[in-house]
Amino acid sequence: MPQEISPSTFKYFGSSFEGMIDKLSGAFGKFEGELIDRAEDFHWSLDYSSSDWASVITGYHQHEFQFKIEPTASSVEYLSIVLPRSGGMGFSHGSTKADAGRDRLLLYNTLEPEQVRMYGQSNVIDELLIDWNIIQQTLDQTFERPIGESLALVPELEKTTSGGQMIAALAETAIRSLRDPSIHSPVALAHITQALADLIIRVVPHRLSRFLERKPCMIAPWHIRRAIEFMEANVSRPIRMPMVAQAAGVSTRALQLGFRAFRETTPAAYLSMLRLRGARLDLLDPENTNTTKQICLKWGFFHFGRFSAIYRSTYGESPSATRKRVRGAPVYCP
């Protein structure tokens, strides 16, 4: 049985490998594991602490083992930052294989690894989990469009680099805040996780990194900024492009050319992106009692099938799957 330390803190331990796998199954998905070497006993422990936007897991394992994860509809999506204390951890995802030790961090989306390995005797791992919604919102704000495909982060980061040192330091601070009630501050932790999200997107290579280099040269002129402000202020109301152009003080054609040049899209597509983002945030809100169709209509999508197709192509899941996952998502340790 777990020792419950507080409503958001749990501790599990045991001396059976099968018991550990049973206990972890259902946290991120279905687990199937095997020991690397035969062992008559297998001592392990897991400490878990959670706050609104982040959690930390400290795992101890006596022997090396590997396991496969099969995500389920209720699996929660996190960005994991792995900080090995002794031993190491590695994972594989398609053709990507990555390992981390005391001098190397590991970063990955928790729904992506197909196989994970814990290696080294008396393995001790700290794993900071950041709600993927923070990463998603930071991506949307940074690139000014919804990002639905895999971010494809380069998963290994040397702690000796300046970026690695800063990410490790912020992660350590977040872990201490989660572990120690005397210094825990929800506001401070929210700022730390947001800083980590922004830093990782800007420092760790990924499939969108090339667009960051172009951002300083793409400062939009005043009429584009005014058009965007008008869209954001009226995003839930019926808007036609001549209305946006009038609010921006330019012709419809000038508005079209400006968005093509500075946002690499059309004004209508940009407005659709804002509405899609608003619908996404409503669907991710567990306290929102509106039906999926009501949310769809609220944000100006009057054809539910078309909205579902656009939503799925952008975020990799259907609107109903998002709602089901948020409402039925379990905490890491039941």
Residue 333 domain flag: no
Say if residue 160 is exposed, middle or buried (CB neighbours under 10 Å; 0-12, 13-18, 19+). exposed
Backbone angles phi, psi at 288, to 5 degrees: -80, 115
* Number of separate domains in the chain: 2
Same domain? For 297 and 205 the reply is no
Residue 289 domain flag: yes
For residues 263 and 127, the model is more confident at: 127
Same domain? For 152 and 120 the reply is yes
- Please, which pLDDT band fits residue 2 given cuts at 50, 70 and 90? very low
Q: What CA dihedral angle connects 41, 42, 43 and 48, to 10 degrees?
A: -160
Q: What is the biggest distance separating any 2 CA atoms in the chain, rounded to whole angstroms?
A: 77
The per-residue DSSP string of 190-233 comes to: HHHHHHHHHHHHHHS--TTHHHHTTGGGGPPPHHHHHHHHHHHH
Q: Which helix (H) or strand (E) holds 281?
A: helix 267-283
- Closest by CA to 259, choosing from 211, 220, 214, 233, is 220
Q: What is the pTM of this model?
A: 0.71
149, amino acid identity? E
CATH number at residue 320: 1.10.10.60
Q: Which helix (H) or strand (E) holds 107?
A: strand 104-109
**In percent, how much of the chain has pLDDT > 90?**
32
**In percent, how much of the chain has pLDDT > 70?**
89
Same domain? For 102 and 162 the reply is yes
What is the distance between the alpha carbons of residues 330 and 38, in angstroms, rounded to a whole number? 33
**pLDDT at site 1:** 36
Residues spanned by the domain of 42 = 8-213
Q: 283-305 pLDDT, tens per residue? A: 888 888 889 989 988 898 888 88
Q: 37-87 pLDDT, tens per residue? A: 877 788 999 999 988 789 999 999 988 999 887 776 667 789 999 999 999
CATH number at residue 201: 2.60.120.10
Same domain? For 277 and 312 the reply is yes
**pLDDT at site 77:** 83
Same domain? For 183 and 227 the reply is no
Structure tokens at 97: 């294989």
- Number of Cβ within 10 Å of residue 111's Cβ equals 17
CA distances from 93 to 24, 116, 130 (A): 20, 9, 20
